[in-house]
Amino acid sequence: MARNRMLFSFLLLFSIVMAACSPKASIVDSPEFDQTQNEFIEELDVEKIHSSLKELTKKPRVAGTNSEIRAAAFLTVQLQSEGYEVEVQPFDFEKYIMPESKSLVVEGFDGSFSPASFQYSVDGNTSGQLVDAGYGLKSDYKKIDVKGKIALVAVDKTAFYELVLLASEAGAKAILLYFPDESESTNWTLGREHFEDFIPALALTYDEGKKLLDFVKKGSPVNATVEIEGARIEKLASQNIIATKKPTKVADVNDDIILIGAHYDSVDKAPGASDNASGTAVVLELARMFKTLPTNKEIRFLFFGAEEEGLHGSKKYVSAMSKDEIKRSSAMFNLDMVGSADAGNLAIQTLDGWDNIVTKAASKANEELNGTSIETTFGDRSDHTPFHNAGIDAALFIYDPVEEWYHTPNDTIEKLSKDRLLNVAKIISSSVFELTFSAIPEE
Ligand SMILES: [Zn+2]
C-alpha cells in the first residue's frame, strides 16, 4: 500500500508539474493551434477596415476640435455595435498657438526684416534701444547695460531658451537672435517649461543679423520695435476611447493585459489617412474580431486623442493606470501609419531598439505569414513611448521611412494599400492570438 501510494503521489505530482509547465508551449506549437489561428486571421475583413477609413478621413481630426470629437463618436458607436461597453477618458492638454503676426522695425535702417518666431515665444509690443549683446551669456551682460532695451544676440552653443532667460534676467525687454550660418530659423522651439519667464524673442538669418550688427556698431543709438501678436497657450479638451475584452476562457486564465492602441487625431488640414486613420481602422477591426474569441487574457483596445500635440492621450492613459494594471500589462502594440502604399517596409520600433515580448511575437508571426523576420529598430515618436517608460513591453508598427506627404493635405485614402493594411492586421492579430492562447478550447 505504502509503495503504491508513493507511486500515486509521484504520478500526481508529475502531472501537476507537467500541467504547469508544458501545455502552453505544446498547445501553441500544435497543428490544431496553427489551423485555428490561420482560420481566425483569414476572417479579417479589409473592406471593413476600408469603410472605417472612408468615414475617418472625411475631414482632418485635429485634437481639441469638433472634428476630433466626431471621430471619437464614430469609434464609440462602432465599438458599441460590436457589443463593447465603451469608456471615454477625457483630458485637457495645452496647445501653443504660433503668433499671427510678428515684425521688427529698426529706425533709420535702410531695408526691412522678415523675422521668424520660435515655438513658445511670448506675445509683446515693445520699443527700445538695440544693443549688441555678443553671445548673450552672463559674461556679455556684465559688460553692457540692456535694461529696458532690446538685446541682439549671436547664437552659438547655448540653448535658445537659455539665451532668452539670460536676456530677461539682465533686464532686456526683447531679444533678437541671429544665426551663425545660413540655416533657416523657422520651426524652432524654446520649449514649454519656462514660457512664463520669457520675453518676446524673434529669429533673424545670419545676413539680417550681420547687417543689423554693423548698423548698431556705427555709433549713434539705434531704436527698434519688436511686435509679436497672437502667440498664446490654449487649454483644449480631448479624449481617449477604450474598449475592454475580458478573458472569456475558463481554463488557463491569466490576469495579464494585452494592449492594442492607435491615435485617431490628425494634424491640421490633413485627412490623416496614413497618419493615423490607418492604425485606428485596423485596431477597430481587431476589436471586432477578438470580441467573441475565447482568450485567457484581458485585451484592451485603445484609441488615443491628441497624439500629434505631444502624445497627450497615451500619456494620460498611462498616468491613470494603477500600479497593479501596469504590472499586469504584458504587451502594448501601437499602430501608427500602417497602410501607406509609398512608405518603406514594415518596421517594428522600440525605445531601446531591443526586442521584447511584442516584437518577438510579431516577428514570429511575420515569419509564419510572410517568410521573413523583422528586425527591431529604435523609434520613439508615437504612443508606445509612455508605455515603455512605465516599464511595459511596447512597440510601434509603422511602414518606414514614411511617405513624402506625411502631415500634408495629400495624406489621403487613395494613397493607402489594402494589402499593407491587411498585412499589419494579420501580424498583430496572429501575435495577440498566440499571446492569449486563443485556441485552447473553452471548458
Ligand atoms: Zn501618427
Domain with residue 209: its CATH number is 3.50.30.30
Same domain membership, residue 351 and residue 225:
no
- The phi, psi pair for 143, rounded to 5°, reads -90, -20
Give domain status of residue 20, yes or no: no
Nearest-angstrom CA–CA distance, 113 and 94: 31
* Mean pLDDT in residue range 178-198: 80
Least confident of 39-53, 185-199, 258-272, 315-329: 185-199
Same domain membership, residue 135 and residue 205:
yes
Instruction: Kindly give the distance from the C-alpha atom of residue 235 to the centroid of ligand 1, in angstroms, as a whole number.
Output: 21
Taking alpha carbons only, the member of 154, 188, 306, 298 closest to residue 237 is 306
CB count within 10 Å of CB 253 equals 15
Instruction: Kindly give the distance from the C-alpha atom of residue 266 to the centroid of ligand 1, in angstroms, as a whole number.
Output: 7
Instruction: Kindly give the distance from the C-alpha atom of residue 10 to the centroid of ligand 1, in angstroms, as a whole number.
Output: 57
Mean pLDDT rounded to a whole number for the chain: 91
pLDDT at 440: 55
Nearest-angstrom CA–CA distance, 433 and 294: 10
Is 397 in contact with 376 (CB distance < 8 Å)?
no
CATH number assigned to the domain comprising residue 375: 3.40.630.10
pLDDT at 187: 54
Q: Is the pLDDT of residue 20 over 50?
A: no
Sheet strands side by side (includes 150-154): 101-106, 223-229, 124-132, 150-154, 174-178, 201-204, 116-117
Picking from 230, 265, 282, the residue at the C-terminal end of a domain is 230
Taking alpha carbons only, the member of 197, 198, 150, 196 closest to residue 177 is 150
pLDDT at 31: 82
Give domain status of residue 442, yes or no: no
Q: What is the DSSP letter of 122?
A: P
Give domain status of residue 193, yes or no: yes
Instruction: Kindly give the distance from the C-alpha atom of residue 251 to the centroid of ligand 1, in angstroms, as a whole number.
Output: 38
pLDDT at 185: 47
Same domain membership, residue 429 and residue 284:
yes
Give domain status of residue 13, yes or no: no
Q: Which residues, 6 or more positions from 406, have their beta carbon under 8 angstroms from its beta carbon?
A: 274, 275, 337
pTM (2 decimals)?
0.83
Picking from 230, 249, 269, the residue at the C-terminal end of a domain is 230
- Give me the residues near ligand 1 (ion), CB cutoff below 5 Å: 275-276, 336
Residues above pLDDT 90, as percent of the chain: 84
Q: Is the pLDDT of residue 250 over 80?
A: no
pLDDT at 182: 64
Instruction: Kindly give the distance from the C-alpha atom of residue 269 to the centroid of ligand 1, in angstroms, as a whole number.
Output: 14
Picking from 196, 230, 264, the residue at the C-terminal end of a domain is 230
Same domain membership, residue 220 and residue 336:
no
Same domain membership, residue 210 and residue 247:
no
Q: Is the pLDDT of residue 13 over 60?
A: no
* Mean pLDDT in residue range 117-128: 95
Residue listed under C-alpha cell 556684465:
142
Domain span holding position 176: 101-230
Nearest-angstrom CA–CA distance, 281 and 335: 10
* Mean pLDDT in residue range 105-132: 95
Least confident of 182-186, 255-259, 325-329: 182-186
Give domain status of residue 18, yes or no: no
Q: Is the pLDDT of residue 251 over 90?
A: no
Same domain membership, residue 308 and residue 203:
no
